Amino acid sequence: MSNKLIEIKDLSASIDGKQILKGINLTVNEGEVHAIMGPNGSGKSTLGYVLSGRDGYDVDGGSVSYAGNDLIDMAPEERAREGLFLAFQYPVEIPGVNNTYFLRAAFNELRKHRGEEEMDAVDFLGVVKEKMKLLELPDGMMKRSVNEGFSGGEKKRNEIFQMAVLDPKLSVLDETDSGLDIDALKIVANGVNALRKPDNASIVITHYQRLLDYIVPDFVHVLSDGRIIKSGGKELALELEEKGYDWITNGEAVAA
């Protein structure tokens, strides 16, 4: 029997007074991978941002319980320290901040939070080396500024690399497949798969089924107009791929 990692109940959220999420219910247990699929504008990315605590997203109702805490009350950094990780759809460039330095700062924040000693640069390099191989990152990337001048594929690999180093309990991957060619997609997916453990979990947000050939989910949920309108196993993704989103969203319209 696995433990509940996150329990989202009737979550509604808005941006600038416009309601985007209209009652999401989702429970993710340790060891599970959930895919959230849906057409553009259905609220997929909003869900990711609400979970990570981004400013400008107002939670209007419902609750999110994460590892026994009320997630909504926590600052973004507290969520991260408690093991929540968002892999950004558009990773932010931070000129002037060295990639290794940045990651070590984050890594040590998490260690401090767990009551562990901070790790020095030399030991940290050991941790990093191993994970770099996993994501097939060139050495040079660690000496550059965070995401600055990285190609689209490099940025996404860097996100999963950060995830590998920070070792989160719950990862939310926001359209990690967008803009990736098939080789980069495989590298990223291999990385994510290698990080799967019995006591962690992932929510994979994607528009296309393609990524799910490589990261095989336990559950697939279809998000439309701020609600999960259908849930199923991995075969649901294939069905969506074949029939398109209209099949399901129209179905809902008919039913309503």
Partner 1 sequence: MTTETQNPIEPCLAAHEKFADTADGPGWLSDLRRTGITHFTELGFPTLKQEEWIFTNVRPIQEHSFLPATKPTSSIPAVDDLFFSELSGSRLVFVDGHLSHALSKFADVPEGAIVTNLASALETHPELVEKHLARYAKTDESGYSALNTAFIQDGAFIYLPKGKVIDEPIQLLYVSTDGDSNTATLRNLVVAEPTSSCKVIESYQSAGEHAFFTNAVTEIRVDESANVEHCKFQDQNEESFHIATIQAQLAKACNFTSHSISTGSRIARNNINLVMNGEGIECTLNGLYIVGGKQVVDHHTLADHAMPHCNSHEHYHGVLGDRSRGVFNGKIFVREDAQKTDAKQSSRAIVLTDGATVNAKPQLEIFADDVKCTHGATVGQLNSEAVFYCRSRGIDEASARRLLTHAFAGEIIERISIEPVRERLEELLWDRLEELIEQ
Residues in contact with partner 1, shown as a per-residue x/- string from 79 to 108 under the rule CB under 8 A: xxx---xx-x--xxxxxxx----xx-xx--
Q: Does 77 bind partner 1 (CB under 8 A)?
A: yes
Shortest distance (Å) from residue 105 CB to partner 1: 6
Question: What's the maximum distance between 2 C-alpha atoms anywhere in the chain?
Answer: 61
Name residues contacting partner 1, limited to 30-49 (CB under 8 A): none
Query: 97 in helix, strand or coil?
Result: strand
Interface segment toward partner 1; rule CB under 8 A; list 50-58, 62-70, 206-214, 236-244: 50-58
Shortest distance (Å) from residue 98 CB to partner 1: 9
Shortest distance (Å) from residue 178 CB to partner 1: 17
- Given 20, 50, 110, 248, the residue binding partner 1 (CB under 8 A): 110
Shortest distance (Å) from residue 52 CB to partner 1: 5
Of the candidates 139, 146, 163, which has an alpha carbon nearest to the alpha carbon of residue 99? 146
Q: Does 73 bind partner 1 (CB under 8 A)?
A: no
Q: Does 61 bind partner 1 (CB under 8 A)?
A: no
In angstroms, the CA 9 to CA 60 distance is 12
Tokens of 246: 């209209």
Tokens of 105: 């700062």
Residues in contact with partner 1, shown as a per-residue x/- string from 166 to 195 under the rule CB under 8 A: x-----------------------------
Tokens of 237: 């993704």
Is the dihedral angle over the CA atoms 129, 131, 137, 143 positive or is it negative? Answer: negative
Supply the DSSP string of 138-194, one letter for each residue: -THHHHSEETTT--HHHHHHHHHHHHHHH--SEEEEESTTTT--HHHHHHHHHHHHH
Query: CB-wise, 71 or 240, nearer to partner 1?
Result: 71
Shortest distance (Å) from residue 202 CB to partner 1: 16
Distance set, CA 26 to CA 9, 35, 97, 228 (Å): 7, 11, 37, 9
Note the residues at the interface with partner 1 (CB under 8 A).
Answer: 52-55, 75-77, 79-81, 85-86, 88, 91-97, 102-103, 105-106, 109-110, 113, 145, 162, 166
